[in-house]
Amino acid sequence: MKQGDIFIYACVIIGAGIGLMLDQAFSGVLVGLGLGYLIKYAVYKDKEN
């Protein structure tokens, strides 16, 4: 597992938890997945340059 994937997994788990509280688990997972990729991109974009 790459270190950048930890952001994605954490956001998916958090999104699923929030989604379960709102009775929309699948939507929460999708939002968490999108946020995870955005955070990963933002963090590792700076390290590439």
Cα–Cα nearest to 43, from 13, 6, 1, 16: 6
Task: Please tell me the pTM assigned to this model.
Answer: 0.82
| pLDDT for 22 beyond 70 | yes
For residues 48 and 31, give the distance between their C-alpha atoms in angstroms, rounded to a whole number: 26
Going by pLDDT thresholds of 50, 70 and 90, the confidence category of residue 16 is very high
Percent of the chain at pLDDT > 70 equals 92
Sort 32 into a burial class: Cβ within 10 Å, 0-12 / 13-18 / 19+. Answer: buried
The domain segmentation of the chain, as residue ranges, is 5-48
DSSP string, 8-39: HHHHHHHHHHHHHHTT-HHHHHHHHHHHHHHH
At residue 3, the pLDDT reads 80
